[in-house]
Amino acid sequence: MANLKLAVTYLLLHAANVLGLISCIYVIFSHPQPLQAGLFVYDIFWVFFTPVMVSVAKSFDAPIKLLFPTADSARPFSMLGLGDIVIPGIFVALALRFDVSRGKDSQYFKSAFLGYGAGLVLTIIVMNWFQAAQPALLYIVPAVIGFLAAHCIWNGEVKPLLEFDESKTANSSQESSDANDSKKVE
């Protein structure tokens, strides 16, 4: 219990973590371009095939990562890069927008979010098992896409999700809102 309190206190009070979380939230909700496939490959390459990503993350003290205390004295902290939050977060946010656009409780957001959680847990397990840095997107991206895909296939709604265009939804809801406002004026 004391370790949990220490971890929560560290996470909340460490300035770089707070700035990093704020940056993630801003990017997720202001830039909805999903770049998961390219960054998935990018993350794997730079973590497994070069020492660059790990050395930069360890040596650069700026809000580019979240640090979590561990019980291992040889490795006192685990790191999670902000890209590992933002990139899948964009996809999860788009699932939420799809749910909202449909105007019903289809819960694709919950599937994508559950996939993110499962991918993150898998990342932590593999990282601790091998005692080595892991490209978190290697586990998170397939989990997020897999959970959402399974939900769509189960509901038989693959086509509406693939054809979803937020700009058309935003324009049509704005037009209907404008039409309602003009009816009130008359």
Active site residue 99: no
Q: Is 178 considered catalytic here?
A: no
Give phi and psi for 81, each to the nearest 5. -70, 150
Options 43, 72, 99, 165, the catalytic residue: 43
- Write out the two tokens for 10: 């560290």
Catalytic: which of 61, 72, 84, 105?
84
Reported for 33-37, long-range contacts at CB under 8 A and 24+ positions apart, including other chains, are 33/90, 34/90, 34/91, 34/94, 35/87, 35/90, 36/87, 36/88, 36/90, 36/91, 36/137, 36/141, 36/144, 36/145, 37/141
Which burial class, exposed, middle or buried, applies to 96 when counting CB atoms under 10 A from its CB (0-12, 13-18, 19+)? middle
Residue among 38, 164, 136, 145 nearest 91 (CA): 145
How far is it, in rounded angstroms, from Cα 40 to Cα 111? 20
Residues assigned a catalytic role = 43, 84
